[in-house]
Structure 1
Amino acid sequence: MATPVLETRDLTIRFGGHVAVDTVSCAFHAGTLTAIVGPNGAGKTTYFNLVSGQLSATSGIVLLGGADITGLGAAGRTKRGIGRAFQITNLFPNLSVVENVRLAVQAKARGASGLFSRWSSHADWIDKAEFYLAEVNLGGVRDTLAAALPHGDKRKLEVAIMMALEPDVFMFDEPTAGMSVDEVPVILDLIHKLKARGDKTILLVEHKMDVVRSLADRIVVLHNGRLVADGEPAEVIASPVVQEAYLGQAPKRAAEASHG
């Protein structure tokens, strides 16, 4: 099998005596969407923070394309191709919607330019920013300050910014959290489109099991910081360990259910 785009080996973080993520080893390949699920406090977002560089691991390593990136911070990992959408939006609130995306387009263009390359013009960056805004249905509010957007539109703007960085790995931490029923399909359609391209690696933390079922090729389950299940969605959802850890079903009942 080809080298994983992203891999963690024995990834661990301790906060005092508490082990929040405990020796998690997992590999992710291009063209796949993996949902990471588990009960509250299972370590899902902490694992995301370790992968994207917001937190430094106590032990273990993170590999991107086979290269060890454990020593890089969040900015370094973004430059290498890891894109992260946060559970709580992470925007420039006092800049307009289009300027938020334009900065991401510009950062990507400069990062890709060699010493003798021609840089794109400011107008080109704006054109590209407007393309990504159209993708998330925000073209009509291009000149609005990011701070003035409703929560759902802030989430969509954050996705547009991540798309503008053109990462190899897309990480979505509860992308539909706080959105109205009408807003959710826009984000889910975007994730479907990214998945359909077949060349991106997508990780998704999501509590809504209907969303997980509709999107995921694979489910990874964390419980008390440990990886307790990993496989195809139907198989994982039906497993006794998931019935107990994620759905709150007693082990005995889960075992009986698995035998019909």
Structure 2
Amino acid sequence: MLETEGLTIRFGGHAAVDGVSCAFHPGTLTAIVGPNGAGKTTYFNLISGQLAATSGRVRLKGRDITTLAAPRRARLGLGRAFQLTNLFPNLTALENVRLAVQANSGRVLDLLGRASRHRDLADRAMAHLAAVALADRAAAVSATLSHGDQRKLEVAILLALEPDVFMFDEPTAGMSVDDVPAVLDVIAAIKARGDKTILLVEHKMDVVRALADRIVVLHHGQLVADGPPAEIIASDVVREAYLGGAAEAGHG
């Protein structure tokens, strides 16, 4: 479904991501881990189009998308949730998700149109809000939501876009303990469908153990380990040098 080949980006003389080749398959959840500065989020940015690669390739469903802008990649089925929320702050939670449903349906966006014309869109939007336990906050302006609720809203928007590839960049970062299960349950439900490809940057190893089919470890921008969770976690070198740092620290 998704593949990177020799993917590299250099900032001056520093390779933040250095020749990473990796393939991701439908029905699997791959956790991408590593200590601070390992290149995890930069790798995500290269895949989703927020950054342009210095060299290497990104392929989606066999198509070379390396030179395509982020919006075009999204329309082709690449969905991304960010470390920082990416919402329309002055619209309600429902309006944010309805716009995503509407965009995915191919209908002309019409914020001023009569709601009755788009009742099915609103109903679908409400279903996505319910999936992330936000139905009771549908009428709230997104800027007024707590950080945890904003993160859940972004996941609802991603669900509404119905991508083939879901990319979650530390989806539980900054959430309260009470908020975390709702998002993890949604990710588990997407995985259970068996037809989606999921990439997860996460530093909480209990989350990785619970969800991942596979762990990819980055360090200094290079892929240093790739395999089943039990095998990777059991590796003394990887656990001590990389997973230990990732479990204790934050962003990559």
In structure 1, list runs of 5 or more residues that go unmatched. 112-119, 250-260
2:210 partner amino acid: S
Residue 205 in structure 1 maps to residue 221 in structure 2 = no
The residue that corresponds to 1:57 in the other structure is 53
The residue that corresponds to 1:258 in the other structure is none
* Residues 139-163 of structure 1: CA deviation (Å, up to 9, x unaligned): 1111110000000000000000000
Cα distance between partner residues in 1 of 2:173 and 2:228:
24
- 1:241 Cα deviation (Å)? 3.3
2:182 partner amino acid: V
Match of 2:221 among 211, 219, 225: 225
Segment of structure 1 superposing worse, 22-31 or 102-111: 102-111
- 1:121 Cα deviation (Å)? 4.2
Cα distance between partner residues in 1 of 2:145 and 2:178:
16
SS of the counterpart of 1:246?
A: helix
Map residues 129-144 of structure 1 onto 2, 5 A cutoff: 129-144=125-140
Q: Which has the larger radius of gyration?
A: 1
Residue 192 in structure 1 maps to residue 225 in structure 2 = no
Residue 97 in structure 1 maps to residue 99 in structure 2 = no
Residue 168 in structure 1 maps to residue 164 in structure 2 = yes
Map residues 239-258 of structure 1 onto 2, 5 A cutoff: 239-247=235-243
* Residues 95-119 of structure 1: CA deviation (Å, up to 9, x unaligned): 11100001100110007xxxxxxxx
- When the two chains are superposed, the root-mean-square deviation of aligned CA atoms in Å is 1.5
CA contact (8 A) 2:232 2:239 kept: no
Cα distance between partner residues in 2 of 1:122 and 1:175:
30
SS of the counterpart of 1:84?
A: strand
1:151 partner amino acid: H
1:23 partner amino acid: G
Match of 1:235 among 215, 227, 231: 231
Segment of structure 1 superposing worse, 239-248 or 155-164: 239-248
Q: Go from structure 1 to structure 2 and tell me whether the alpha carbon gap of 1:248 and 1:192 turns closer, same or farther (over 3 Å shift).
A: closer
Normalised by the size of structure 1, how large is the TM-score?
Answer: 0.89
- Larger relative contact order, structure 1 or 2 (CA cutoff 8 Å, min sep 6): 2
- Number of positions where the alignment pairs a residue of Structure 1 with one of Structure 2: 238
Q: Give the 4+ runs in structure 1 shifted more than 2 A.
A: none
Residue 149 in structure 1 maps to residue 145 in structure 2 = yes
